[in-house]
Amino acid sequence: MPQKNETKVFSGASKYVLDDELANIVNISMALEMPLLLKGEPGTGKTMLAHAVAEALHMKLIVLNVKSSMKLIDALYQYDTLTRLNDSRFGDSKRDVSNIEEYIRMGKIGQSFVSEERVVLLIDEIDKADTDFQDDMLDVLDQMEFDIIEIDKTIRAKYRPVIVITSNAKKDLSDPFLGRCNFHHIAFPEPDMMRRIVQVHFPEIEKELLESAVRTFYRLREIKGIEKKPATRELINWIRALRADPDIRTKDLIKGEVPYLGVLFKKSPDYVVAQNAVCMEQRA
Amino acid sequence: MLYALCEGVGMFVDFFYLLKKVGIPVSPTSFLRLQKALSMGLINSVDDFYTGARAILVKSEKYFDLYDQVFAHRFQGAELKEPSLVELSEVVRALLEDWLKDPKMLADILGIDEKDIAKLSPEELIQYFLDRLKEQTEAHHGGSKWIGTGGTSPVGHSGYHPGGMRVGGVSRNKSAVKVAMERRYRDYTQEGPMTPSQMGEALKRLRNMVPFGPMDRVNIDETIYKTMKNCGEIEIIFDRSLKDRLKVILAIDNGGWSMDPYIDLVQTLFNYARAQFKDLKTFFFHNTIYDYLWEDPQRRHKPHKVDEMVRLDPETRLIIVGDASMAPYELMATDGSIYVEERSGKPSYERLKFLAKTFPHSVWINPVLVEYWPYTPSIQHIREIFPMFELTLDGLEKAVVHMMRLFP
């Protein structure tokens, strides 16, 4: 495998606020050529990180969305028998029917291996797949090669992709898996960090609105008995909703009103609990 | 360079062993990797080192706090706090997991014979570790107290075997620390109650929980595909005709900590499988069921009358998860509930019978292993009412088969 010495260093992207810690970890993982496993509350930007890395380093991003029923082979390649049969019956395609290779299609991992330039490979929500999938996949990523059985050919990665893996699971992944990754847990951002994140998404935002929205948001996260606390994603969407509605005044927010509560609380029991809490607060 | 800063590699080795000592499972491979990162010039300050070493060495956020403490101690001269009992038991858990994979190594580390380890009961082992750890943090002890041989018990039902470990006697005299012990053992042996790492396997078992009708529907897409694959030789594929998806009620005993390790597990399991059910309701109870089941885990705000369950579809699969271990009066007495407000005069035993009659397809899943059931009378009684299965992969499979029988 030709080694291209990447001197690229990741330091943030246009829509992603990066703390120094995470930037450091991303850079170390890239240099050590190890996958980076990210865990953290949903909506804290695990997936976004891969997008940001790709954007900042001007690399193509290939996303493998893991599904529970997925087999490793699906992520590597597919042998399209149906098209081949079709071609052999009707013979009107340019493909050579006797050449099986023309009917092999690369899966997401395969694509990242055969790519002519270094890419970012995001493996999203690895915890959905079973343990075997996870371990086998890491074997492939470790070796940077896999075999296509049908044509007895080994595909080797031209450039080792930058690999980001995300997991929502509360449980830990298997030891062999963890052993081959670098690990980072994205903590929920502090209010200061959150203000910066919001500003990146809404550079024009009025200071007052920003302040009161962030304050309201952290207050709402404190409500007890909530199953799914609102996260960064919800806050961004909520502010978008607030700004889109011309009738909403920042003063109301300061008074304790919370419009568009449903953007923040998406589960109906949570919504009811939050609504009650907001009403209680206003009365008090 | 940081090397100079830290008086050479020796300091890192110290740091590494310190991490291991406090119970963070760091592997030698990852340590070498850290060295590589250092030699590549990727780490140029103590701050870099802090994040870099953590990403490379520590693979779970639950150790982040410990890591911070060790780091502060080693690199900033801050004092390493004497761990509290809770922290210690966390440490013990981590150590045990690591060590139990290799009983011989465990014996070496403790400086005792493998055979002697076998003589220690789990709680003695735990206690032993705790004592040892305390000594380590106090540091003035020479290590002569390696083992308290005075109280070793012979290998009994709660014995520990280097060859195949198993915890016994779990339903009696449990301590929170021992619960931890239980889980670690079972991760190792793959026997015993389900562990989070078996979640995937468990889900596969649940996949059989789909209703089936006769195989009498032609699947046209599949037929065309198969026929083409056969090069034109027609092959007709039949599917089972559709039936309504199942409704499932999950009732979980979230009373004491004896159930704690399993609540999340079971809930996550069924939530993952949710898509294949028409409806999944989760209720909670403490020890056994009286007048109410509760929709909220605190069992306070959302009561649901057991009497009203009769209105639900009798085809609903009722799955009760609990250790069924309680004082006999809780089950049999007319005022058995430990909660004052639940005094309707009907003993829990009758309530359970009522539920079993209302939902003929019901099962009780028990994290206590089958071989210990005979020791607990309340388990015996409940088994007379509900078919009981253990919370293991096998047990789950059997439970699913039982619930899917056409005629209960």
How close, in Å, is residue B87 to chain A by CA atoms? 19
What residue in A sits closest to B45 (Cα-Cα)? A24
Continuous segment of H or E residues that includes residue A108:
helix A108-114
> B59 and A172 in contact by Cβ < 8 A?
yes
DSSP code string of B37-101: HHHTT---SHHHHHHHHHHHH---GGGHHHHHHHHHHHHS-PPPPPPPHHHHHHHHHHHHHHHHT
> pLDDT tens across A151-162, in order?
888 999 988 899
Nearest by Cα to B314 from B362, B353, B266, B349: B362
Residues in B closer than 8 angstroms to A166, CB to CB, are none
B102 part of contact set with chain A, CB < 8 Å:
no
The confidence score (pLDDT) of residue B388 equals: 92
The confidence score (pLDDT) of residue B244 equals: 63
> Sorting pLDDT into bands at 50, 70 and 90, what band is A8?
low
* CB distance B284 to B294 below 8 Å: yes
> Is residue B306 helix, strand or coil?
helix
The confidence score (pLDDT) of residue B105 equals: 53
Domain ranges of chain B: 2-75, 85-191, 199-210+245-403, 213-244
> pLDDT tens across A190-233, in order?
788 888 888 888 888 888 888 888 888 888 888 877 777 788 88
pLDDT surpasses 60 at B190? no
Token digits of residue B350: 């009758």
Bridge-based pairing of strands B215-218 and A182-186 is unpaired
Q: Mean pLDDT across the stretch A130-136?
A: 82
Of B61, B197, B229, nearest to A131 by CB-CB distance is B197
For the question of whether the overall pTM of this predicted structure is more than 0.90, the answer is no
**Residue with token string 């893991």:** A66
Question: Angle at the Cα of B360 (from B358 to B362), degrees rounded to 5?
Answer: 100
Q: Mean pLDDT across the stretch B134-156?
A: 32
Counting beta carbons within 10 angstroms of the beta carbon of residue A205, is it exposed (0 to 12), middle (13 to 18) or buried (19 or more)? middle
| Residues 180 through 209 of chain B touching chain A, CB cutoff 8 Å | 196-197, 199-201, 203-204
* Mutation choice for B interface testing from A5, A21, A24 by most B CBs within 10 A: A24
The confidence score (pLDDT) of residue A108 equals: 93
The confidence score (pLDDT) of residue B98 equals: 54
* Whole-number average pLDDT of chain B: 67
> Sorting pLDDT into bands at 50, 70 and 90, what band is B166?
very low
The confidence score (pLDDT) of residue A281 equals: 75
Continuous segment of H or E residues that includes residue B106:
helix B103-110
> pLDDT tens across B47-62, in order?
777 778 888 888 877 7
> pLDDT tens across A14-52, in order?
667 776 778 888 888 888 888 999 987 777 788 888 888
The confidence score (pLDDT) of residue A163 equals: 93
> pLDDT tens across A230-274, in order?
888 888 888 888 888 877 777 777 777 788 888 888 877 788 888
Q: Mean pLDDT across the stretch B205-219?
A: 66
The confidence score (pLDDT) of residue B128 equals: 66
CATH topology for the B199-210+245-403 domain: Rossmann fold (3.40.50)
Who has greater pLDDT, B105 or B118? B118
In this structure, what is the dihedral angle of CA atoms B174, B178, B180, B186, given to the nearest 10 degrees?
Answer: -100
> B42 and A27 in contact by Cβ < 8 A?
yes
